[in-house]
Structure 1
Amino acid sequence: MTQMGGIDAYVSKPADYPHAPSKLLLFLTGATGLHSDNNQIQADKFAKEGFLVVMPDMFNDDPLPGTATYSEEKDPSYIEQIKMTLVDATKSFAIDMWLARQTPEKVLPIIQKVIEAAKDEFADAVANGGGIYSVGYCFGGRMTLLLAGEKPDTVMWGQAVKDEEAGTVKKGPYIKAGAIAHATAVSRDDFTGTKSPLAFVCVENDQLFDEEVREHGEKYLKENNVECEFKTYSGVPHGFGVYGEYEDTKIKVAQAEAFDQMLAWLKLH
């Protein structure tokens, strides 16, 4: 663990770096954040493939609070059903409150500070890759999408789009290419201005990245000649792309396929 631009970050390097050239990969996590073992393991997997991985603490030590998990019974009693309903409602409220705190206006400036610091500290990797690459999981998927676009410069430093004055200089994209797995809270407007090639790992019937938004995004990117790839995985849960000890063989296979899809896209670009 280290700090970059005053922000806590997990950095994972290829075993032969700096003796062998590498490319810089910005790893943007889901709500579990920087200190999740699974996120760090996932970052290490990309490092083993030759990427110098920088995973910033986007949430300023405020990941989604953990909630108790309950085992699902085949025939739960009425009381148990009520308990599970209350647990789900509590989780939903906690998620909504957390998302309200983690706005792009708050998170993007944190990412921007890390990007600027990485350009200095790992200038060789940035130069070797011809820019910065990014992978984003869940919440981080939306951030990767935003970094792939042309945005008003002040947005990247915390000013909301609605507050922008006419004629503001736009900058970006901030990444050369990106790969996004089961993005969360993406809106139609988030695709506007996208320039960098993007690959999407999607989950069938995913309420957190619904079909209408996904179809709009794919149509927008193709109509604007932005290179893209969308692949939908069925029978898997949201979040399956991050390392986890799943017992279901189908999920394990899909997880490996999703990693290969993202890795191939990054290496292609």
Structure 2
Amino acid sequence: MDPKITHRASTPSTDLSALPYLAKPPGACCISASIHSGSPRGSFTAISAVETYVSKPVPEHANGNILFYFPDIWGMFPNALLIMDAFADAGYLVLGIDYFRGDPISKHRKDRNDTETDPGFDYDAWKTKHIAFANSAVPTWVSAVKSEYGTPTSKFACVGYCFGAPFVCDQLSSKGICAAGAFAHPAFLREHHFQELSRPLWLSCAEMDGTFDEERRNKAVSIMRDAGKRYHVQLFSGVRHGFALKGNMEDGYERWAKERSFAGIVEWCDFWLGLE
């Protein structure tokens, strides 16, 4: 089954869900992770009936802007909470949606160190279920966040990892509300996600990524270049899919790559929102 991950109804002549992927669905490489240490400081609340992590900047560093966080298939695990706190430390009010509703992929491993899911676990059915919910929930959730947390002067940015990448592209299209956004090691992207961009996109990419390999990455770049889109590609050698969120922090180079990915995203969003 080829699940649909687009927020728009298909026309009779073009079934977007049948088009080939540029960034493929999450695979086995997405199941493993190094868990980062730290103490998350945000809190959970329900927004549009979906559990949401909220991390607030300290008042003296607040820039008045809001950042949407679209998680990878690990959902609201420590790494995600810590990186949302880091975006808040950079001045943003950060809100992350748990579209997995407490059912991240980590629940379906045999143990915490396992890189495979339990025997008999239907990974495709799991993805299809959560894609369907996320597609329906995210637009309503974004509107609710804007209504509840936005002000007349608020500007919006977004970041997504793996599974979250299409939602970034949607928010950077003419139908979205974000002035700039970024994704790292994306999944579930088709050509139309790049063709329909209307605002700047930062791509943080791994050299060794079977989900978004060199050929597919170059195709995405050619689409954006030929259409005159505003984008920047950040490519790290020697790292794999997941490096920007789940890399091994005991490895000096992986830590550096993760930190440079984060810093680049912050600088990108700061720049473009500063021009608004």
Deviation per residue, 1:209-259 (Å, 9 max, x gap) = 122322121111122221100111111121111165522111011111111
Query: How many positions carry a matched residue from both structures?
Result: 228
Match of 1:115 among 125, 128, 142: 142
C-alpha displacement of 1:91: 7.8
Please tell me whether residue 97 in structure 1 is matched to residue 125 in structure 2: yes
**TM-score of the pair, normalised by structure 2:** 0.74
C-alpha displacement of 1:59: 2.0
Q: Which range moves more in the overlay, 47-56 or 235-244?
A: 235-244
Structure 1 residues 252, 148: CA separation in 2 closer, same or farther (over 3 Å shift)?
A: same
What is residue 79 of structure 1 aligned with on the other side?
none
C-alpha displacement of 1:21: 4.3
Q: Please give the alpha-carbon distance, in whole angstroms, between the structure 2 residues aligned to 1:265 and 1:235.
A: 23
What is residue 70 of structure 2 aligned with on the other side?
28
- Partner amino acid, structure 1, of 2:142: I
C-alpha displacement of 1:173: 2.9
Structure 1 residues 202, 24: CA separation in 2 closer, same or farther (over 3 Å shift)?
A: same
- Secondary structure class of the residue paired with 1:133: strand
Q: Please give the alpha-carbon distance, in whole angstroms, between the structure 2 residues aligned to 1:189 and 1:90.
A: 35
Q: Which range moves more in the overlay, 137-146 or 225-234?
A: 137-146
Q: Which of structures 1 and 2 has the bigger CA Rg?
A: 1
Is the contact made by 1:38 and 1:244 (CA closer than 8 Å) also made in structure 2?
A: no
Q: Please give the alpha-carbon distance, in whole angstroms, between the structure 1 residues aligned to 2:120 and 2:236.
A: 24
Please tell me whether residue 141 in structure 1 is matched to residue 192 in structure 2: no
- Secondary structure class of the residue paired with 1:235: strand
- Percent identity, aligned pairs only, is 27
C-alpha RMSD over aligned residues: 2.5
Q: Please give the alpha-carbon distance, in whole angstroms, between the structure 1 residues aligned to 2:136 and 2:112.
A: 37
Matches within 5 A, 1:205-244: 205-242=208-245
Structure 1 residues 239, 178: CA separation in 2 closer, same or farther (over 3 Å shift)?
A: same
Structure 1 residues 66, 46: CA separation in 2 closer, same or farther (over 3 Å shift)?
A: same
Unaligned runs of 5+ in 1: 72-83, 151-171
Q: Which has the higher contact order (CA 8 A, sep 6+)?
A: 2
- Secondary structure class of the residue paired with 2:225: helix
Deviation per residue, 1:94-143 (Å, 9 max, x gap) = 5433222233x53132111221111122122x7232xx210001111222
Matches within 5 A, 1:3-82: 3-16=46-59, 20-34=62-76, 36-64=77-105, 65-68=107-110
Structure 1 residues 26, 20: CA separation in 2 closer, same or farther (over 3 Å shift)?
A: closer
C-alpha displacement of 1:93: 6.4
Match of 2:177 among 174, 178, 192: 174
Unaligned runs of 5+ in 2: 1-43
Is the contact made by 2:110 and 2:117 (CA closer than 8 Å) also made in structure 1?
A: no
Q: Please give the alpha-carbon distance, in whole angstroms, between the structure 2 residues aligned to 1:202 and 1:93.
A: 29
- Secondary structure class of the residue paired with 1:62: coil
**TM-score of the pair, normalised by structure 1:** 0.76
